[in-house]
């Protein structure tokens, strides 16, 4: 290269190398000082984008963990309230058992009632608990506005259980027996059908399907929604307009169901036996159509009426016959159990033997019992008495006594306390108690109930536990106020133990209230446990994503220090060489002297 003074290319080249080394040293210094391999998109564009997405995910997961911890705190608050309520209900059950004992006077029961009133008020206080000003037990799990929703909830929580309990206690029949032929029933809602036996409008009915062996292999319960679309919102008995209470209709129909499932040849029994037994379970002394049939009886019409299969006649005649058999057997309280035991063991063809067992040998057959009924009516009316008086004297059917419907478990059947139309099927004080099935089937006293499709309101709390919009856990709580546990009516009347009869009914209501409260407590506990698992899973996910992000973005300090040292040495070397290159131009001056 020639000796020039205008362009010192050696110095220029060295300067370029110095700049490169200076930039490399600057980047190394930035990496070493920050601890990150990627400090900006220029360092690694794709790596930077991937890392930033991971950082967003990590921050989201960490917030999810915080959300989950807050949700767990909410669950603990709710669990504390429901736990206190369960303790109160246990105490109330103890007090109700005490009140049902006849060693207590009515004055004693009045004192016990004061304790219950305070306990019920405390249940309401517990249910009003809030978390961050949010009402926890808002009833979103059981909300419903349509008649179908209310009926499904009532069937699931009270009506079916009460009906099966009545059949088991009064008749000794249940779906839990070894020889029961079918243990499943489908519930259906029907519209556009108003005909049916037993009246101009069939409110609800059970359909039994029989095999060639005479055994039932399928059951269906149909509810006529043409009537029950007008279901009263605040009536626990299921009243719709002028129609009878649906709870009693369900008791009637479930008596058919449990008889059909246990009695081979049930379909071949006389209609007055099938319908009379179903009416006897809940009593009909308050029902005008049956009452009119019985009051119109004369000795001359007895046989024809027992043979009559139209309308409500077989219902009324069968009901009267069972009351007659009960009176003739000495009111020992086990007449129907003896009757059903024979049919259960030997089938419908053993009807005469069942009547003999029910009457303790007083009658050898159903025909003999009808003949005895007719003869007693003949003799009694011939003595100047009325049919109404005969029914009271010989059948314990007192149409003037409105305190008891004549049910198999009531005072007229000599089995228990008086129970009127509202009391004969035991329910809580408010429909707010009713709650939905946990799934599309429920098992109630050994019977698997298959529910129809229905809509369920969407509400409650949603806990965000994921980084995507739909990754959440829903929590819906039942209402646990006094009305929602059946302890207080919608108009403010508390559950009562002021009489022995009321105390006995209260015991059943409290059992169901405890079942609902414990179910809610179990739900809360399960949610809390799920939240804890979720928090653990989110923590693991956050750690793993952060580890992956670290692999991409964090600097390897050993390598970076090596690079830094190298770049620092190269920087110093370039500086030294630049100084040498700048000296090379001064050699030209010697030529100019």
Please state, in angstroms and rounded to a whole number, the distance separating the CA atoms of residues 389 and 401: 13
pLDDT of residue 200: 45
Mean pLDDT over the full length of the chain = 89
pLDDT of residue 141: 84
DSSP states along 366-409: HHHHHHHHHHHHHHHHHTT--HHHHHHHHH---TT-TT----TT
pLDDT of residue 556: 62
For 103-116, the pLDDT digits (tens) are 999 999 999 999 99
pTM for the predicted model, two decimal places: 0.83
For 524-561, the pLDDT digits (tens) are 999 999 999 999 999 998 888 888 877 776 666 777 67
DSSP states along 484-534: TTTSB-TTSPBP--SSHHHHHHHHHHHHHHHHHHHHHHHHHHHHHHHHHHH
pLDDT of residue 24: 67
Burial of 545-572, coded b for 16+ CB within 10 Å and e otherwise, reads bbeebeebbbbeeeebeebbeebeebbe
Q: Which homologous superfamily does the CATH classification assign to the domain defined by 51-142+457-545?
A: f41 fragment of flagellin, N-terminal domain (1.20.1330.10)
pLDDT of residue 198: 41
Confidence tier at 28 by pLDDT (50, 70, 90)? low
Instruction: Retrieve residue 548's tokens.
Output: 């992956």
Burial of 254-265, coded b for 16+ CB within 10 Å and e otherwise, reads bbbbbbbbbbbb
Share above pLDDT 90 across residues of the chain, in percent, rounded to a whole number: 66
Judged against a pLDDT cut of 50, whether residue 521 lies above it is answered with: yes
Lowest-pLDDT choice from 135-144, 165-174, 352-361, 415-424: 135-144
Length of the chain: 593
**What does the domain layout of the chain look like in residue ranges?**
9-35+557-592, 51-142+457-545, 287-417
Please state, in angstroms and rounded to a whole number, the distance separating the CA atoms of residues 392 and 237: 27
* 8 A C-beta contact, residue 343 and residue 354: yes
| Secondary structure in 3-state letters for 464-479 | ECCCCCCCEEEECCCC
Cα Rg of the chain, angstroms? 41
Q: Average pLDDT for residues 402-416, to the nearest whole number? A: 93
Burial of 454-483, coded b for 16+ CB within 10 Å and e otherwise, reads beebeeebebbbbbeeeeebebbbbbbbbb
Confidence tier at 208 by pLDDT (50, 70, 90)? very high
pLDDT of residue 142: 87
Instruction: Retrieve residue 423's tokens.
Output: 């009391």
For 335-376, the pLDDT digits (tens) are 999 999 999 999 999 999 999 999 999 999 999 999 999 999
Confidence tier at 100 by pLDDT (50, 70, 90)? very high
Confidence tier at 12 by pLDDT (50, 70, 90)? confident
For 47-80, the pLDDT digits (tens) are 778 888 888 888 989 999 999 999 999 999 999 9
For 556-578, the pLDDT digits (tens) are 677 767 766 777 777 787 777 76
Q: Identify the sign of the CA torsion 403, 408, 411, 416.
A: negative
Q: Average pLDDT for residues 290-309, to the nearest whole number? A: 95
For 237-261, the pLDDT digits (tens) are 999 888 889 999 999 999 999 999 9
Q: How far apart are the first and last CA of the chain?
A: 22
């Amino acid at each position: 290269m020639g000796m020039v003074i205008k362009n010192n290319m050696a110095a220029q080249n060295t300067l370029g190398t110095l700049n490169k080394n200076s930039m490399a040293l600057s980047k190394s210094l930035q990496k070493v000082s920050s601890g990150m391999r990627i400090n900006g998109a220029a360092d690694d564009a794709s790596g930077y984008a991937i890392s930033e997405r991971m950082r967003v995910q990590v921050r989201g997961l960490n917030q999810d963990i915080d959300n989950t911890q807050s949700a767990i705190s909410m669950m603990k608050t709710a669990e504390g309230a429901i736990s206190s309520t369960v303790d109160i209900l246990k105490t109330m059950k103890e007090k109700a058992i005490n009140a049902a004992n006849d060693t207590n006077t009515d004055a004693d029961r009045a004192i016990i009632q004061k304790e219950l009133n305070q306990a019920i008020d405390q249940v309401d206080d517990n249910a009003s608990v809030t978390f961050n000003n949010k009402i926890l037990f808002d009833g979103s799990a059981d909300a419903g506005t349509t008649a179908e929703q209310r009926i499904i909830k009532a069937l699931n929580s009270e009506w079916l259980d009460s009906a099966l309990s009545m059949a088991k206690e009064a008749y000794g029949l249940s779906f839990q027996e070894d020889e029961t032929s079918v243990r499943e029933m489908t519930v259906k809602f029907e519209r556009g059908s108003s005909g049916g036996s037993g009246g101009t409008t069939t409110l609800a009915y059970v359909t039994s399907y029989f095999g060639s062996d005479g055994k039932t292999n399928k059951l269906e319960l149909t509810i006529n929604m043409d009537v029950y679309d007008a279901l009263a919102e605040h009536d626990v008995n299921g009243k719709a307009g002028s129609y009878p209470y649906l709870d009693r209709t369900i008791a009637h129909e479930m008596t058919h169901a449990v008889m059909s499932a246990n009695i081979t040849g049930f379909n071949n029994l006389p209609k007055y036996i099938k319908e009379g037994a179903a009416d006897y379970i809940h009593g009909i002394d308050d029902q005008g159509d049956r009452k009119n049939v019985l009051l119109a009886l004369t000795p001359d019409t007895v046989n024809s009426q027992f043979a009559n299969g139209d309308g409500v006649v077989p219902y009324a005649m069968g009901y009267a016959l069972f009351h007659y058999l009960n009176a003739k057997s000495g009111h020992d309280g086990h007449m129907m159990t003896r009757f059903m035991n024979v049919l259960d063991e030997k089938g419908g063809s053993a009807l005469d033997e069942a009547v003999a067992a029910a009457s303790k040998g007083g009658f050898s057959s159903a025909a003999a019992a009808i003949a005895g009924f007719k003869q007693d009516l003949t003799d009694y009316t011939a003595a100047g008495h009325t049919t109404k008086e005969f029914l009271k004297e010989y059948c314990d059917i007192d149409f003037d006594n409105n305190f008891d419907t004549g049910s198999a478990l009531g005072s007229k059947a000599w089995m228990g306390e008086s129970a009127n139309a509202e009391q004969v099927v035991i329910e809580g004080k408010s429909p707010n108690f009713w709650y939905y099935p946990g799934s599309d089937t429920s098992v109630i006293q050994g019977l698997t109930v298959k529910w129809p499709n229905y809509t369920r309101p969407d509400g409650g709390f949603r806990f965000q536990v994921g980084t995507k919009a739909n990754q959440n856990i829903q929590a819906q709580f039942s209402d646990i106020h006094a009305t929602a546990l059946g302890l207080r009516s919608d108009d403010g009347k508390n559950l009562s133990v002021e009489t022995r009869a009321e105390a006995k009914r209260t015991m059943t209501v409290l059992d169901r209230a405890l079942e609902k409260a414990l179910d809610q407590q179990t739900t809360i506990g399960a949610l809390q446990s799920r939240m804890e698992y979720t928090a653990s899973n989110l923590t693991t996910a956050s750690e793993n994503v952060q580890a992956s992000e670290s692999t991409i973005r964090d600097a390897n300090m050993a390598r970076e220090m090596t690079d830094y040292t190298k770049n620092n040495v190269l920087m110093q070397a370039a500086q030294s060489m630049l100084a040498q290159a700048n000296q090379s131009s001064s050699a030209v001056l010697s030529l100019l002297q």
